[in-house]
Amino acid sequence: MSLSDITSRVAAAERAADRPVGSVQLVAVSKVQPNERVESVLQAGQRCFGENRVQEAAGKWPDFKEAFSDVDLHLIGPLQSNKARQAMELFDTIQSVDRPKLAKAIARLAQELGQCPDLFLQVNTGKEVQKAGILPEDTDAFVAECRGLDLPVKGLMCIPPVEEEASLHFALLAKLAKRNDLAGLSMGMSSDFEKAIALGATHVRVGSAIFGARVKPEG
C-alpha cells in the first residue's frame, strides 16, 4: 500500500457512506518508522501524523516541522502528567486524554502557557483492564468535568479490543459522542478504517497500511 492507495480508499469509504469527500482526516501513524519513510510520506503531501510516545516524537518532529511548516501532529498514546507540558508544546491535538488527573494537569498548563492543543477523550470501550481510557459509563461525567475546566474537547477516541468486532465499539463511541454533542470521532486503524468511516469516524489512525510493517517492536 502507499499513501495514495489509502487516501483513495478513504475517499471511496466516504462516498459509500454518503459523506462529503475530504470530511475524514487521515492521521498517518508514524511511530517507530524510520525518518526516510516519514519524509517520503511528507513529500507525497501528507501533513497530519500520529505518534504514540512524547519522547520519540520530540526526537524527530521539531526538524520535520521546520521543513514542513503546516504539519498537524496528534498524540495518540498514553500521556504521563509529568510529560504534559512537553506534549502540549509539541502536539496540535492530544487524542489520549484518559483520566481526570491528566485533564487537570492540562488545564493548569493551559492557563500558564496561554494555549491548549485540541483534545479528544479516550474511551475504553472494551473495558479492558490493561488499556487506558475512561469507561463508557463514566464518559458523560468526564466530558462535563473537562468542559468545566474550559478544555477544548473536540471528540472521543477508542482502540477496540483486537479480538472483538470493531464495529460494535465504533457504534458505541459514536453514540457517546452524539449524546455529548461532540463532533470528533477518532476510530479505525489499518485493518478497519473503512468500517469506522461508515460509522461516522472523523479521524482514522492508519500506520502499517501506509508505511509498511513497523520495523522496531513497540516495546
Ligand X SMILES: *Cc1c(COP(=O)(O)O)cnc(C)c1O
The binder of ligand X chosen from 76, 84, 134, 174 (CB under 6 A):
76
Residue owning grid cell 498514553: 78
Q: Which is nearer to ligand X, 117 or 207 (CB)?
A: 207
Binding flag, residue 29, ligand X (CB under 6 A): yes
Stretch touching ligand X by CB under 6 A, among 34-42, 66-74, 105-113, 201-209: 201-209
Q: Which is nearer to ligand X, 174 or 209 (CB)?
A: 209
Helix (H, G, I), strand (E, B) or coil at 185: strand
The binder of ligand X chosen from 7, 30, 46, 52 (CB under 6 A):
52
d(CA 75, CA 203): 13
Binding flag, residue 204, ligand X (CB under 6 A): no
Which residues are bridge partners to 97 per DSSP?
Answer: 121
Q: Which is nearer to ligand X, 64 or 211 (CB)?
A: 211
Number of residues that bind ligand X (CB under 6 A): 13
The least distance separating ligand X from the CB of residue 60, rounded to whole angstroms, comes to 16
Residue type for 78, please?
P
Q: Which is nearer to ligand X, 77 or 200 (CB)?
A: 77
Which residues are bridge partners to 29 per DSSP?
Answer: 50
d(CA 26, CA 123): 20
The least distance separating ligand X from the CB of residue 73, rounded to whole angstroms, comes to 14
Stretch touching ligand X by CB under 6 A, among 59-67, 78-86, 113-121, 204-212: 204-212
Q: Could you tell me where the DSSP H helices lie in 71-181?
A: 84-90, 100-113, 139-148, 166-179
Q: Which is nearer to ligand X, 9 or 205 (CB)?
A: 205
> Using CB atoms within 10 A of its CB, is residue 202 exposed (0-12), middle (13-18) or buried (19+)?
buried
Torsion sign, CA atoms 100, 219, 158, 55: positive
Contact 74, 93 (CB under 8 A): yes
* Residues near ligand X (CB under 6 A): 29, 31, 52, 76-77, 159, 189-190, 205-209
